Amino acid sequence: MLAINPVAIVAPYYRVGSTLVQRCLHACDNTVIYGEMNSLIGAVMALAQCKSIKNQKFYYEKLTNWINDVDDDFSCAVPYELLDKSINDVLCNFFPNDGKRYGFKAIGASFREVSLLLHLNFDIIYIHRNLEDSLKSYISQPWANFDNFALAKSKSTGLQEFLESTQCVDNLKENQKVYCLQYENIHSQIKTVIQGLGLSIQQDKLEQILSNKINSGYTQEKEK
């Protein structure tokens, strides 16, 4: 398994504050948080279900080549007993054991996809916001596509209840974290999340990001 738990920022639909949380975490010392990687989750799910070497190779190529659009249906249950070394090898290509903390964000991840991430020792940050407020904000954007919003919403049904339940019972692995953030409370809670994940950031830099005065400092150099 990965030496350091990766972080997945999960949102049920668009305009809930996931980009702001991503910027805050990415600005932390020795931390790299990629943008949306929903296809990575889908391809890992497919790889987890593959019994044939041919199919494993096919999905391995999808992962390592960063294919953006996975057209197959990955909604069926994941047989965790099929998770083998190949999946962890692939994940290590994206999240190398170099002492840094890696992660990404996913919009509209399903219950089964997040269950898989938990199984793979990911720490989860789930962000939720009033549906009507999110939709109003989303449709005001020039790039808005209502079908994409509706698809994300339908996939994530029941996800919040599931993640909240993980915080009430002892079913997480040692040192594994799950946080459920309300959009309106991101500013007041993000520092607690950062500390809980064992990350560090200068207070003035965090405040500047939260006030949108600077971005996270995401550059190609840091990405390397």
The four Cα atoms 16, 12, 27, 211 give a dihedral, to 10 degrees, of 10
49-59 average pLDDT score: 53
pLDDT attached to residue 219:
40
Cα separation of 42 and 94, whole Å? Answer: 15
Look at domain 7-36+99-223 and name its CATH class: alpha beta
Q: What is the mean pLDDT of the chain?
A: 76
Collect all residues with Cβ–Cβ distance below 8 Å to 5 and sequence separation of at least 6.
Answer: 121, 122, 123, 175, 176, 177
The reported pTM is 0.77
Banded model confidence at residue 164, pLDDT cuts 50, 70, 90: confident
Q: For the chain, which residues make up each domain, given as ranges?
A: 7-36+99-223
pLDDT attached to residue 192:
95
CB contact at 8 A, 63 and 134: no
Cα separation of 161 and 3, whole Å? Answer: 29
CB contact at 8 A, 1 and 7: no
CB contact at 8 A, 44 and 116: yes
**DSSP string computed for 17-29:** SHHHHHHHHHTST
